[in-house]
């Protein structure tokens, strides 16, 4: 009798284990074997956010975002306007130094790279014309700073016109210069955002804006692309033959956009080294689809991440209100594969970076607690996913509390640890402390 009872209990236990490692349809999937090493919040009594992270040559990493506070963890800041906020960490995850940059108005950092001289370049948007900002051309400008390896300013430049011109993405180019991408208020600029003004009158509102600088920050050329509605560029890479691929979202269906699928699409441009359009493609379905990040794959193709509310045309599956959507395309813009990840609520992707095994780490946020998402702590959670080179989900983690938590960027370090950054307004469950309204969020996954 005891033996019979033992085998009954063993069978129940094995069944429970199999169920915990299976999808709803019974197919086996990988479990979350990754461990959250730490979750940290940094901030003061106002608002802080991390927007971008880059690994550094010394084995550490640097984070760029913005800060409003002048108390708490924030050093050497005298007012409560928003400033760029840069933090440098060593290979043991210790904070080495922090810096703020800006003037007395609203200045917010969005992207950081380590440059070939082991310094940094940082980009965002500025409304100031004082402090560290020597020029403002209108309401808001793209503002880039070149820094040394200790965060000291080597040079800084503003680019814009009388309207709201915003910077989102920054890369160092193969010739040692820089490519900035963002949004140009074409109507306010009067067409001056183009090196040649021949198409200015055909555009309106906000367009993709691409600005090419030399190594000293001097403008070599600029071009804008879009239609008569809203076109927002979020990320860019340099590809083969020194071309550039720029991604974002568009709800236009005219001028430079030839095949709008419906409302907002993933809109992808490929331009030559001197800024001439090679091709443009729209990807998505009949609902809202927005691309946020792009990276080169090991085989020379492009992998793009964002989110979709569609379940038709290019989008083969939708798990709920919005899914994180990943798209792999060839250098001529043909789809190789596409994958949707999420549950029955709103799940979005915000960045994608290649990993050492030629897979990809993706950051975003989730409101789901089913499907591909294991748990939700309340409202939006920071969400980090790892997919393999073919787009198959290897693992995913949600981190959050009962309030709103986002992850905007994530990278793999050389020791294969994952560092993700974003912002949090929670102070419970996974989030150890909240110091103000929103805090800068850092988490490590091993």
Run of H or E including 295: strand 289-296
Q: Which long-range contacts (CB under 8 A, 24 or more apart) does 146-152 make?
A: 146/115, 146/119, 146/120, 146/121, 146/217, 147/86, 147/99, 147/119, 147/120, 147/121, 147/122, 148/119, 149/117, 149/118, 149/119, 149/120, 150/97, 151/86, 151/88, 151/97, 151/99, 151/120
The residues, any chain, with a CB within 8 Å of residue 207's CB and separated by 6 or more, are 183, 184, 186, 193, 224, 225, 226, 227, 231
Q: End-to-end alpha-carbon separation of the chain, Å? A: 45
Which among 294, 228, 297 has a CA at the least distance from the CA of 266?
A: 294
| Under 8 Å between Cβ of 420 and 45 | no
DSSP structure class, residue 433? -
Q: What is the pLDDT of residue 205?
A: 76
Tell me if 13 is assigned to some domain: no
Q: What is the pLDDT of residue 196?
A: 64
Tell me if 18 is assigned to some domain: no
Q: What is the pLDDT of residue 350?
A: 98
Tell me if 218 is assigned to some domain: yes
Tell me if 23 is assigned to some domain: no
Please state the domain count of the chain.
1
CATH number of domain containing 130: 2.120.10.30
At residue 105's C-alpha, the angle toward residues 100 and 110, to 5°, is 50
Which among 255, 264, 243 has a CA at the least distance from the CA of 333?
A: 243
Tell me if 233 is assigned to some domain: yes
* Separation between Cα atoms, residue 390 and residue 129, nearest integer Å: 47
pTM for this model (two decimals): 0.92
- Tokens for 358, please give them: 């030629």
Q: What is the pLDDT of residue 7?
A: 35
Q: Is 35 helix (H, G, I), strand (E, B) or coil?
A: coil
pLDDT in tens, the chain (446 residues): 334 433 333 333 333 333 333 333 332 234 467 999 999 999 999 999 999 999 999 999 999 999 999 999 999 999 999 999 999 999 999 999 999 999 999 999 999 999 999 999 999 999 999 999 999 999 999 999 999 999 999 999 999 999 999 999 999 999 999 999 999 999 898 888 887 654 555 677 789 999 999 999 999 999 999 999 999 999 999 999 999 999 999 999 999 999 999 899 999 999 999 999 999 999 999 999 999 999 999 999 999 999 999 999 999 999 999 999 999 999 999 999 999 999 999 999 999 999 999 999 999 999 999 999 999 998 999 999 999 999 999 999 999 999 999 999 999 999 999 999 999 999 999 999 999 999 999 999 99
Tell me if 8 is assigned to some domain: no
Structural domain harbouring 309: 36-445
Tell me if 25 is assigned to some domain: no
Tell me if 4 is assigned to some domain: no
């Amino acid at each position: 009798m005891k033996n019979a009872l033992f085998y009954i209990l063993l069978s129940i236990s094995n069944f429970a284990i199999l169920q915990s490692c299976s999808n709803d349809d019974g197919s086996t999937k990988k479990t979350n074997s990754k461990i959250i090493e730490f979750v940290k919040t940094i901030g003061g009594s106002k608002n802080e956010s991390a927007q971008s992270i880059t690994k550094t040559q010394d084995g550490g990493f640097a984070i760029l975002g913005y800060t409003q506070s002048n108390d708490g963890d924030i050093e050497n800041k005298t007012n409560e306007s928003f400033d760029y906020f840069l933090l440098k960490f060593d290979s043991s995850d210790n904070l080495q130094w922090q810096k703020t940059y800006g003037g007395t108005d609203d200045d917010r950092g969005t992207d950081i790279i380590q440059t070939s001289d082991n310094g940094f370049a940082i980009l965002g948007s500025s409304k100031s014309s004082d402090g560290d900002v020597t020029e403002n051309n209108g309401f808001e400008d793209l503002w880039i700073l070149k820094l040394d390896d200790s965060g000291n300013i080597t040079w800084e430049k503003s680019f814009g016109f009388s309207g709201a011109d915003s910077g989102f993405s920054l890369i160092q180019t193969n010739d040692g210069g820089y490519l900035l991408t963002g949004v140009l208020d074409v109507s306010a600029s009067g067409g001056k955002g183009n090196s040649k003004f021949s198409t200015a009158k055909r555009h309106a509102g906000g367009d993709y804006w691409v600005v090419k600088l030399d190594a000293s920050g001097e403008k070599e050329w600029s071009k804008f692309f879009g239609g008569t509605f809203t076109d927002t560029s979020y990320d860019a890479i340099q590809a083969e033959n020194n071309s550039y691929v720029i991604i974002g979202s568009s709800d236009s269906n005219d001028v430079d956009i030839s095949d709008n699928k419906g409302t907002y699409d993933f809109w992808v441009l490929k331009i030559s080294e001197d800024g001439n359009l090679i091709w443009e493609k729209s990807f998505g379905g009949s609902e809202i689809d927005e691309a946020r990040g792009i990276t080169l794959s090991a085989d020379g193709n492009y992998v793009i991440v964002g989110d979709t509310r569609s379940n038709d045309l290019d989008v083969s599956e939708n798990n709920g209100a919005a899914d994180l959507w990943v798209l792999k395309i060839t250098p001529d813009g043909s789809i190789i594969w596409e994958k949707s990840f999420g549950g029955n609520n709103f799940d979005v992707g915000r960045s994608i970076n290649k990993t050492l095994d030629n897979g990809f780490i993706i950051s975003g946020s989730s409101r789901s607690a089913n499907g591909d998402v294991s748990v939700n702590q309340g409202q939006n959670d920071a969400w980090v996913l790892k997919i393999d080179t073919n787009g198959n989900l290897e693992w995913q983690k949600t981190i959050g509390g009962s309030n709103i938590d986002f992850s905007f960027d994530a990278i793999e370090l050389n020791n294969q640890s994952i560092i993700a950054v974003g912002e949090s307004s929670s102070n419970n469950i996974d989030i150890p402390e909240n110091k103000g309204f929103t805090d800068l969020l850092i988490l490590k996954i091993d």
